[in-house]
């Protein structure tokens, strides 16, 4: 705020402008956001690409949560969408799963990357901002085509890898182009040291692009679209490579960018330097050496080689080393700043997602231990685990990204802080209710599994928990609609003027009863 005071004294900005910036700093971000990287260069950034990527992610979040509600309803009421071929569970679930990762989270992440990169490198924009915008539109078309393919039966039939072969190729090409744009921006940077968030932003797209290519067996396209098998000939070999690649979506894409976002936004919001660059390097290199080897803990109860199971289990526990380095770094960066958790909305979303992310790694290490894995492997416990990551960790953090970036991109506060508060509590409590329901159901399933009960005999006991799961999903769905409404109204409204009117009314209300009484 010292910079704002200097500008005001020099007559550069008005008192209203200073008040608006102060409001943004307290509730949605940091005045330091106007300063780029280590060089303290003040720029007005382009942000055209970030706008398109982030706006698209908000739209797709509503779409994919719509399919989430559909499949949750079908679990509680199996005949709910009877006769609608494109809404059967075997088609609606892949759209939900692929959509969460590749539509909502990936587009939000690329929006965050295109927003952070110029600010950390001392440039006004990406190397080619128009390329970033163009690729966002192309990616939207590719995702829509992929959903159409799945809903009409053109699926690879491999979990988390259902998109038809041409869609996989298109995603790979777009990731390569986006990575090239980022690297070219790095090559023309004005700030020489690379902050740790840029390490993740450069490495993660390269890692996941290679992983997608291998997991989807791109060199064996099958029948391209009508029957896109895209799999290895040997079934057990295909399962091994499939689950290796599935977990890499979490470990080599969603996790690295979550770390990059947390390392960027928490110091920015709190105006506090990152506690330790050394710890950030431990988390970076530790993740590289450990995370790519954990994927096959998903198939411990299969006839895969014993050495592969051992490697997957050991590395699933070893991943806690870089995770706790990350946790320690963030926790110590937040020293003396925890009060902001209650006053700054984006920080509250980001810290909540960060906490859930730490918990998902603890849970993942536990369920990779063979004796416990036998009990929970074929149960809802795995569903709860994936939602703890994708919803509790990555999605809630993504909402914080949106509520931080949007005010800075459009240079005005969001339409309604009250709606943003409602969204936070609906999604957080909705998730906790969802997680509790599926975890209880998982233990019911596990007991039946160990007792040798056929699954069909256990299903009636799951009905109540499936209904609660649907209700919890409805709370999350409401949060999705609140988010899109709030952000659209932010775009179309003069929210700065609206905030000033509200502030004036609040000041007038506070004066009521303070005037001296008059005697009649």
pLDDT at 498 over 90: no
Lowest mean pLDDT among 291-295, 425-429, 467-471: 291-295
Tell me the pLDDT of the chain averaged across its residues. 87
Angle between the N-to-C axes of helices 2-9 and 15-27, in degrees from 0 to 180, rounded to the nearest 10: 170
pLDDT at position 312 is 94
In which band, very low, low, confident or very high, does the pLDDT at 116 lie, cut at 50, 70 and 90?
very high
Residues 6+ apart with CB under 8 A from 507: none
Q: Using the structure block, give the residue that is written with the tokens 């994919």.
A: 64
In which band, very low, low, confident or very high, does the pLDDT at 452 lie, cut at 50, 70 and 90?
confident
pLDDT at position 4 is 40
The backbone torsions φ and ψ at residue 35, rounded to the nearest 5 degrees and listed phi first, read -105, 135
CA dist., res. 43 & res. 40, Å (int): 9
pLDDT at 472 over 90: yes
Query: HEC string of 301-322?
Result: CCCCCHHHHHHHHHHHHHCHHH
* Cα-based torsion angle of the residue sequence 338, 343, 348, 349 in order, rounded to the nearest 10 degrees: -160
pLDDT at position 11 is 39
In which band, very low, low, confident or very high, does the pLDDT at 192 lie, cut at 50, 70 and 90?
confident
CA dist., res. 446 & res. 460, Å (int): 15
* DSSP H stretches of helix in 77-194: 89-98, 106-121, 129-151, 165-187
> What number is the average pLDDT over the span 75-100?
92
pLDDT at position 214 is 94
pTM metric for this prediction? 0.89
Is residue 343 within 8 A of residue 26, CB to CB? The reply is yes
pLDDT at 257 over 90: yes
pLDDT at 228 over 80: no
CA dist., res. 40 & res. 122, Å (int): 9
Most distant pair of Cα atoms in the chain: their distance: 97
- Nearest CA to 215 among 230, 233, 227, 193? 230
pLDDT at 490 over 80: yes
pLDDT at 517 over 50: no
Altogether, the residues listed in the chain come to a count of 520
pLDDT at 167 over 90: yes
CA dist., res. 338 & res. 357, Å (int): 18
pLDDT at position 250 is 93
CA dist., res. 259 & res. 206, Å (int): 16
> What number is the average pLDDT over the span 444-470?
92
- Nearest CA to 188 among 247, 129, 135? 129
CA dist., res. 430 & res. 342, Å (int): 19
Residue bearing the bigger pLDDT, 497 or 87: 87
Tokens found for residue 301:
């109860």
Is residue 397 within 8 A of residue 104, CB to CB? The reply is no
CA dist., res. 99 & res. 190, Å (int): 37
> What number is the average pLDDT over the span 106-110?
97
Tokens found for residue 128:
């080619």
CA dist., res. 342 & res. 278, Å (int): 29
- Nearest CA to 399 among 57, 51, 49, 20? 57
């Amino acid at each position: 705020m010292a910079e704002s005071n200097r500008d005001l004294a020099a007559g550069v900005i008005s008192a209203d402008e200073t008040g608006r910036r102060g409001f943004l700093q307290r509730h949605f971000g940091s005045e330091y956001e106007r300063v780029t990287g280590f060089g303290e260069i003040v720029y007005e950034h382009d942000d055209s690409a970030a706008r398109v990527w982030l706006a698209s992610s908000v739209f797709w979040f509503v779409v994919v949560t719509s399919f989430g509600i559909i499949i949750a309803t079908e679990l509680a009421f199996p005949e709910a969408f009877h006769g609608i071929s494109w809404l059967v569970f075997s088609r609606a679930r892949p759209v939900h799963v692929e959509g969460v990762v590749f539509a909502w989270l990936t587009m939000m992440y690329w929006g965050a990357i295109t927003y952070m990169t110029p600010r950390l490198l001392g440039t006004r924009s990406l190397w080619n901002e128009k390329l970033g915008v163009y690729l966002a539109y192309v990616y939207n078309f590719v995702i829509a085509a992929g959903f159409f393919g799945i809903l009409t039966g053109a699926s690879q039939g491999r979990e988390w890898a259902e998109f038809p072969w041409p869609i996989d190729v298109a995603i790979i090409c777009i990731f390569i182009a986006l990575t090239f744009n980022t690297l070219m921006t790095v090559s023309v940077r004005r700030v020489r040291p690379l902050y740790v968030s840029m390490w993740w932003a450069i490495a993660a797209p390269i890692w996941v692009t290679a992983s997608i290519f291998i997991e989807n067996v791109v060199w064996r396209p099958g029948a391209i679209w009508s029957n896109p098998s895209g799999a290895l000939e040997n079934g057990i070999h295909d399962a091994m490579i499939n689950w290796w690649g599935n977990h890499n979506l979490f470990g080599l894409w969603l996790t690295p960018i979550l770390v990059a976002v947390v390392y960027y936004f928490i110091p920015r919001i709190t105006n506090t330097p990152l506690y330790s660059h050394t710890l950030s390097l431990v988390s970076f290199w530790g993740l590289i050496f450990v995370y790519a080897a954990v994927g096959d803990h998903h198939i411990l109860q299969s006839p895969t080689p014993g050495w592969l199971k051992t490697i997957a289990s050991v590395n699933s526990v070893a991943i806690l080393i870089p995770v706790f380095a990350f946790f320690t770094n963030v926790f110590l960066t937040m020293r003396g700043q925890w009060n902001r958790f209650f006053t700054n909305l984006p920080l509250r979303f980001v810290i909540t997602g960060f906490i859930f992310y730490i918990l998902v790694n603890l849970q993942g290490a536990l369920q990779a231990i063979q004796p416990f894995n036998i009990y929970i492997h074929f149960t809802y416990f795995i569903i709860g685990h994936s939602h703890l990551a994708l919803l509790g960790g990555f999605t809630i953090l993504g909402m914080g990204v949106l509520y931080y970036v949007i005010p800075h991109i459009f240079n005005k506060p969001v339409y309604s802080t009250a709606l943003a508060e409602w969204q936070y509590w609906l999604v957080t409590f909705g998730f906790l209710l969802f997680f509790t329901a599926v975890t209880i159901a998982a233990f019911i399933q596990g007991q039946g599994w160990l007792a040798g009960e056929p699954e069909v005999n256990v299903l009636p006991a799951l009905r109540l928990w499936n209904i609660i799961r649907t209700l919890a999903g409805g709370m999350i769905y409401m949060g999705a609609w609140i988010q899109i409404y709030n952000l659209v109204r932010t775009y179309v409204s003069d929210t700065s003027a609206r905030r000033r009117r509200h502030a004036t009314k609040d000041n007038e209300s506070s004066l009521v009863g303070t005037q001296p009484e008059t005697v009649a």
